[in-house]
Structure 1
Amino acid sequence: MDTDANGGDGGLEEFEVIPAVDVQDGEVVQLVQGERGTEKTYGDPVEAARRWIDAGAETLHLVDLDGAFEGERENADAIDAMIDAVDVPTQLGGGIRTAEGAVDLLERGVDRVILGTAAVEDPEIVAEISEAHPDSVVVSLDAKDGEVVVEGWTEGAGISPVEAAERYADLGAAAILFTNVDVEGQLEGVATEPVRELVEATDIPVIASGGVATLADVRALADAGATAVVVGSALYEGNFTLEAAQNAAESVE
């Protein structure tokens, strides 16, 4: 996402539905609750990115899943190919562990970097990157059983999402990406209360992710106050179209 997508208060002007392009071993995949071995593949990343743009996507959510697990960007070539192939803003996460690495990606053409483990281990990295590139850092708060988890959702960080969101807002984060791991990838619906709590706890935008299966889920997250939702499996499985999801969100008063 670039600054043109933001209103004067730093939030998105309107609710946005953002397709996810998660890459593992060079292919688009979706995992169930973030666990390796549960993946279902959906083909070439560039083809997927172009498909969502043709469908009307205004932003793409890119994730190097191998990077998230291993701590190094394992799918850099595939990510670079997508960045070169699309003309919409991108936000990228997975394996970004240093300020230098984040800045390199921003200068390479990524609009926003998503920091998870790096931000938990060294919160000041958010301020360092944001000072040089304002409005460029999205902090990923992935929660399992009410606790922030890191290292590819395998380790607890000992902090609640609300406590973490308050910390990163003060450090200059542009947005919070909240993924509810308890419902992620299961296509069984969303849990709105954790999203609502985050929205009420921080003044920066909250992007929701995890569990979206129906248009009602999209509407529920918009009603909970999220400024955007990242959708993966439901779009790839054809539960609904991107256009229908955006229309559903816009119907929320």
Structure 2
Amino acid sequence: MAFDSFEVVPAVDVQDGEVVQLVQGERGTERRYGDPVEAARRWVEAGARTLHLVDLDGAFDGERANADAVGRILDATSVDVQLGGGIRTVADATELLERGVDRVILGTAAVETPEVVGEISAHHPGSVMVSLDAKDGEVVVEGWTEGTGLDPVEAAQRYADLGAGAILFTNVDVEGRQTGVETGPVRRLADSVDVPVVASGGVADVEDVVELRDAGAAAVVVGTALYEGNFTLAEAQAAVDSEG
């Protein structure tokens, strides 16, 4: 699985059936942005080639909770969709891939049972995106609440060897703050694996998007900055296309 060219990917994070954005992944910090299907349609109309969907209730509680919203988005759009949150088993992933999801994002499941990455990839090559969320340089799981002791680079290499089609790297230290990105961790990851690295966390302006592209990311997921109108999707994509 590869992105043909650098993409700016809008985030549609769903909690209790609504689009929200959290600060550093913490419940209670959310800003609400309405209906997920309307948000998804808006981003597709604005030029999104991929949508990044997260079932936040699933991420926190360990089981998918917003299947209805996800299904409606799949029915309402025709772009690539990558989905994470509460996907813990091969059966979960297979069901979603057969339903129309293009990439399943595994976080906690990949850490706890790494073999599921290979099992899913064997039947659906390139369909697994492993989510490595880092806090203070350590991979964290369970909705960013538990440390694992894993180094992101070593983990990325292991999952690439197991068949992961891409790595989603979220820097929890800057996530949701709109204070700017840290390119060092992204560059180290991108240099360490042959699969695409998708960056997430901290984007405040178009310059941040360009910096992540220059650090070796294949795409960047943007949430709060787009919803708050810091820049438009078209402006961000144009910036990386014109400097590519």
Which TM-score applies when normalising by structure 1? 0.95
Q: Match for residue 121 of structure 1?
A: 112
Instruction: Give 3-state SS (helix, strand or coil) of 2:22's partner.
Output: strand
Please give the residue correspondences for 1:1-253 in structure 2 after superposition, counting only pairs within 5 Å. Answer: 10-253=1-244
| Displacement after TM superposition at 1:251 (Å) | 3.2
| Displacement after TM superposition at 1:13 (Å) | 2.0
| Displacement after TM superposition at 1:249 (Å) | 1.3
The 2-side partners of 1:27 and 1:80 are apart by: 14
| Displacement after TM superposition at 1:12 (Å) | 1.8
User: What is the number of residues matched between the two proteins?
Assistant: 244
Note the aligned Cα RMSD (angstroms): 0.7
For residue 79 of structure 1, what is the amino acid of its counterpart?
Answer: V
Instruction: Give 3-state SS (helix, strand or coil) of 1:37's partner.
Output: coil
The 2-side partners of 1:175 and 1:251 are apart by: 25
The 2-side partners of 1:182 and 1:250 are apart by: 28
Structure 1 segments unaligned to the other structure (5+ residues): 1-9
The 2-side partners of 1:189 and 1:251 are apart by: 21
Q: State the 4+ residue runs in structure 1 displaced beyond 6 angstroms.
A: none
Q: Match for residue 4 of structure 1?
A: none
| Displacement after TM superposition at 1:247 (Å) | 1.1
| Displacement after TM superposition at 1:108 (Å) | 0.6
- Tell me, yes or no, if the aligned pair for 1:184 and 1:210 is still in contact at 8 Å: yes
Instruction: Give 3-state SS (helix, strand or coil) of 1:219's partner.
Output: helix
For residue 245 of structure 1, what is the amino acid of its counterpart?
Answer: A
For residue 182 of structure 1, what is the amino acid of its counterpart?
Answer: D
Identity score, percent: 73
The 2-side partners of 1:88 and 1:232 are apart by: 18
Structure 2 segments unaligned to the other structure (5+ residues): none
The 2-side partners of 1:155 and 1:251 are apart by: 40
- Tell me, yes or no, if the aligned pair for 1:222 and 1:252 is still in contact at 8 Å: no
- Tell me, yes or no, if the aligned pair for 1:93 and 1:114 is still in contact at 8 Å: yes
| Displacement after TM superposition at 1:221 (Å) | 0.2
